[in-house]
Amino acid sequence: MDLVSSLTADARRQRSSQPGDDVPKFAQATAVLRAPAPVPGEDALTALAGLVRDDLDLCNRTIVAHMDSPVALIPQLAAHIVAAGGKRLRPVLTLAAARMCGYEGGVRHVNLAACVEFIHTATLLHDDVVDESQLRRGLASANAVFGNQASVLVGDFLFARAFQLMVADGSLRVLEILSNAAATIAEGEVLQLVTQNDLTTSEDQYLTVVRGKTAALFAAACEVGPVIAGRPPAEQQALCDYGANLGIAFQLVDDALDYAADQATLGKTVGDDFREGKITLPILAAYEAGTEAERAFWRRTIEDSEQTEADLEEALRLMDKHGAIRTTLERAGYFAGLAKSGLSLFPEGRLRAALQGVADYTVSRLR
């Protein structure tokens, strides 16, 4: 809890005085919509979070309040992962989408952003158990600290808590969007498990995994914004598509980073996907373009899980030889482009520009 509080405090310290801070809510939101685009070169995600920083503060407080339980291990374990919680990308998307669509006069967007983060956190807890991960964002993973059993059960609790929050919101359409997303996420995770160690996995199947395990929640996080703002179906669909394409781009870059980042930057162990035999585009692209001898290498290391210390380096060499990381990032760029262009439906403004900037930022993390 203390870590989370300090994160929240950090967010407050980062507040710079901006015009509109003291004007009434509605005028402030209008000002945000009309304000100029963020300074080029600024980290787009920081910029976007800055535009919804009051909402995000409230969202962080909502998260802390709702992960409480008389069973002390629940807030302890939840705080461990929520505090390590990275950039709150998904809740920021919900907050920004709602504000861009003119949502005013309540905290539904804040509560639903917390929901989205709870679903994400529950998924992370279960993912780390399934992958036997020891690191998460540079810290020991919850399963490494508290054990697999606690991670499974606290994940279940956070998932249930997310639904309680949604029910309290009271919109059946929102419940539909988020329960569909939850089912699609689980399907994607199971499909990923099935394709593990299987080099006959097609790029299409890989994309189905990515759409499930990552893009579905990005899409839902964005779609609830226009829904609670009462915007027409075309705008709901546009933000759903934006989120889905952004999520695909994000996951593709993550899959590239697993091979291309240095460990300190990555916050997890480089080559984890390789060691687990997880089928991602860098491997598929290198395998596809490989000679028969190279394919034998992939079959031994990925299909038969027979790996030596030197194999990761050889895998990286083959990926470099065939431009597999570049291919992966090009695909990511394609989906980021789709994400950006889909927002043209919305009037120009600071939030739209920042959301588009996040799409660029997602693919530029590595470059």
* Residue 182 in contact with a copy of itself, rule: CB under 8 A: yes
Please report, as a single letter, which amino acid is at residue 366: L
Least distance to a copy of itself from the beta carbon of 162, Å? 9
Are the beta carbons of 278 and 192 closer than 8 angstroms? Answer: yes
* Residue 330 in contact with a copy of itself, rule: CB under 8 A: no
Beta partners for residue 135, in sequence order: 140
Least distance to a copy of itself from the beta carbon of 234, Å? 23
Locate 8 and state its tokens: 């929240």
DSSP, res 267 = S
- Tokens 């990286």, residue? 316
Find all residues with CB under 8 Å of 295, minimum gap 6, and list them. 199, 287
Among 30, 46, 134, 179, the residue binding a copy of itself under the rule CB under 8 A is 179
Are the beta carbons of 215 and 248 closer than 8 angstroms? Answer: yes
Euclidean distance between CA atoms 35 and 178, whole angstroms: 31
Least distance to a copy of itself from the beta carbon of 106, Å? 17
Q: Which stretch binds a copy of itself (CB under 8 A): 84-92, 191-199, 230-238, 264-272?
A: 191-199
Locate 280 and state its tokens: 């991602």
Among 9, 23, 27, 183, the residue binding a copy of itself under the rule CB under 8 A is 183
Q: Which stretch binds a copy of itself (CB under 8 A): 179-187, 252-260, 266-274, 323-331?
A: 179-187
Burial (CB count <10 Å: 0-12, 13-18, 19+), residue 124: buried
Are the beta carbons of 84 and 144 closer than 8 angstroms? Answer: no
* Residue 351 in contact with a copy of itself, rule: CB under 8 A: no
Binding mask 92-121 for a copy of itself (x = CB under 8 A): ------------------------------
List interacting residues with a copy of itself (CB under 8 A): 69-74, 123, 126, 129-130, 148-150, 152-154, 156-157, 159-161, 163-164, 166-167, 170, 172, 175-176, 179-180, 182-183, 185-187, 189-191, 193-194
